[in-house]
Amino acid sequence: MSSAVSAWTATTDAQGRFRIEGLPPGNLVVEAFAPALPWVRVDDPPPRLAPGDDLAIAILLPPARSVVLTVVDDRTGEPLPEVEVVGLWRTTRGPGRRVETPPVPRDGPWTVRVRAPGYLEDLCPATPREQFSPPPPNATVRLRRALPVTGVVRETGGKPVVRARLWLRSLSGDGSLASVRVEATTDSSGAFSAPAGIAGGGIQWKIALPGGGWIGGPTVNVPRDAEAVALPPVTLDTLLSLRGTILDPEGRPVQRAEISGRPPFDEGERIQFPYLRVVADPRGRFALRGLPPGPVLVYVSGIEGWATREHSLDLRKDEVVEWKLDPQEPIAGRVLDVEGRPVAGAVVTIDGEEVKTDAEGRFRLWGLEPGIRVVSVEGIPGPPRLIPAGSTNVEFVLPAKHR
């Protein structure tokens, strides 16, 4: 259950003092910022206001400085006419030949975002090592032009994939993902286009399919001097659906079973398919849409008390299946002392997984496959006991010296 978050504000007087009335007791998060000084957050550890008490805290705003940036076109090296520098709480604007950042800590760490119309946003400084170093007096930022991007998505045989949603992101110079992401949706012909928002260099993409799930492909390399980006056509195998019903051993529907499927992983495959996941409805029915033809692995798992099952299919057309889930086996019992009294908090280990006994000395572990399990209790000497899964009246006696 989430709780509401309230905020109170105050302004310091000529002596730097402030007072806030009406705060509820508990942990507080205090943030402070002032003109020409960096923002500070006090929450590690958070100040704690006790019921009926007042709380006095001292906040030290570190010395600050502004860095003079020169922001240039990545291709030509020419300063940009108008740029925007975004700090945590403030934004500055000015010509690219000389623009000051908002105040940043004099001794670091520091980072700002640099923007300009028609260019991709970038961080300054660009690397974590520089971000945690004291800021220099001056720095140069090279912004890459944002280019329009077009492409087409079709199935094998030429049928367009309609209403597929694409996400495209440029790679920064160090190979990491740039912060700007472009989104587009295919039209009735399978084509898509997006306004300026991609730069030359490496581009990563993925597609959200209209039936559910997404796919991602290899990085596309675009010349840095390109004026527009035309992605190579994306060809997908005709996508299929798998429908079915999940039942228990008596033929009754299993509600809220989770079904997930995808092709087996293939080292070096051209297109990566993630698992598609759905949840069975109250009648145990499900539909996985957007699977490619060929081998498919499907996992079916129920809520607590049901075993997970794996199914391997060779999908060549839309199919309908009916699968049954088997109940998981528990092991349950009690831990007693030599006088027959329950032992609370005893540690019971079942196949390497630990559970503790409750106030009545009882323990239970669900989710076991049928078979013999290795069970031991901390404090009972000798070898562990071998107990069949499904046993629900197991009893252990803790020696007197361990009570």
Torsional class of 22: left (φ above 0), alpha (ψ -120 to 50), beta (otherwise): left
For 227-236, 258-267, 337-346, which range has the lowest pLDDT when averaged over its residues? 258-267
C-alpha closest to that of 273 among 308, 236, 305: 236
C-alpha 146/C-alpha 267 separation (Å) is 34
Burial of 6 (0-12, 13-18, 19+ CB in 10 A): exposed
Tell me the pTM.
0.53
C-alpha 96/C-alpha 227 separation (Å) is 22
For 158-162, 201-205, 333-337, which range has the lowest pLDDT when averaged over its residues? 201-205
pLDDT digits (tens, 9 = 90+) for 103-123: 888 887 888 999 999 888 888
Between 161 and 100, residue with greater pLDDT: 100
pLDDT of residue 86: 93
Q: Which residues pair with 41 in a beta bridge?
A: 31
pLDDT digits (tens, 9 = 90+) for 328-360: 778 899 999 999 999 999 999 998 888 999 999
Taking residues 186-212, report their average pLDDT: 80
Q: Of how many residues is the chain composed?
A: 403
Between 53 and 81, residue with greater pLDDT: 81
Taking residues 150-161, report their average pLDDT: 86
Yes or no: say if 143 and 82 are a contact pair by the CB < 8 Å rule: no
C-alpha 241/C-alpha 286 separation (Å) is 10
Kind and range of the H or E element at 320?
strand 319-324
Whether residue 85 has pLDDT greater than 90: yes
> If you search the block for the tokens 């010349």, which residue do you land on?
223
pLDDT of residue 269: 42
Which domains are seen in the chain, by residue range?
A: 64-143 (2.60.40), 155-224 (no CATH), 240-324 (2.60.40.10), 329-402 (2.60.40.1120)
For 13-22, 53-62, 93-102, which range has the lowest pLDDT when averaged over its residues? 53-62
Token pair for 48: 């704690």
The average confidence (pLDDT) of the chain is: 83
C-alpha 338/C-alpha 402 separation (Å) is 10
Confidence of residue 176 (pLDDT cuts 50, 70, 90): low
Q: Which residues pair with 271 in a beta bridge?
A: none
